Amino acid sequence: MRPIIKPFNRVLFNRVAILSLALLLIGLSACGFQLRGTNLQALQNTSIYVQSSGANVLAAEVKRQLFDADVTLASSASDADYVVNLSNESFDRKVIAVSPTTGKVEEYEVTYTAMLKITSPDESSTASANPVSASRDYTFDEGAVLGTFKQESVLKKDIAKQVAASVLRRLRAAVQ
C-alpha cells in the first residue's frame, strides 16, 4: 500500500529550509535586531588620538579598528577630542591542566592585560586607568610543537582584537 502523502524529496526540503531562513532573517532585521559589534558611528564625528606607553600590540589594533570604522585619528593629543592612553600590556601563560599519568602539560591559558585611560582634551579624566583583559585556553601537544606555537600566536592576535573591541566599546560609552 502506498502512503497517502509523498515524503519531501531532498531538493524541495532544501528550498523550504532556505526560504525559512530568509524569512527569519528578514523578520529579525525588521524588528531592529542587530548583531553585537563595536558600533562606532557615535565616534565618527570625533577625533581620537591613541597614545601607547608599552602597549604597542593593542594600540596598533585599536588604530586599525578605528581606521576601518572611518573614525578620524588625530596626529597629536592637542588636536584630538579624546585621548586613549594604553599602557602596560602583558601576555601571560599559565598551566591549567597536567596529565595525571605522565605529569606533562596538557593545557595552557593565555591572558592578555593592559591599562586603559580615556581623557578629554582639557585633561579631565573621563575614565580612570582601568585594566582591560581577556584570556583563552588551548591544548598543548608535544607531538605538534610547531603547530602549538603557531596556535598560541594566533590566539594572541585574537585576544588583542577582542581587547581592542572592548577598548572601543568603553570609548564609545565615554563619548556618549
8 Å CB contact between 58 and 87: no
Q: Which CATH superfamily, name and number, covers 41-175?
A: Lipoprotein like domain (3.30.160.150)
Chain-centre distance for alpha carbon 118: 19
SS3 165: helix
Give the side-chain half-sphere CA count within 13 A for 154: 7
8 Å CB contact between 133 and 111: yes
Nearest Cα to Cα of residue 105 among 137, 141, 136, 135? 141
SS3 94: strand
Rounded Cα–Cα distance for residues 137 and 58 (Å):
20
List the chain residues with pLDDT less than 70. Answer: 1-13, 31-39, 121-128, 143-148
Q: Residue 83 corresponds to which cell in the numbers above?
A: 585621548
Rounded Cα–Cα distance for residues 151 and 148 (Å):
5
pLDDT score at 32: 64
pLDDT score at 105: 83
Q: Tell me: the pLDDT tens digits for 66-88?
A: 888 888 888 888 888 889 999 99
Residue 40 Rama label (left phi>0; alpha psi -120 to 50; beta): alpha
Give the pTM.
0.70
pLDDT score at 54: 86
What are the boundaries of each domain within the chain?
Answer: 41-175
Q: Give the Cβ contact number of residue 64 at 10 Å.
A: 12
Q: Which amino acid, residue 51?
A: Q
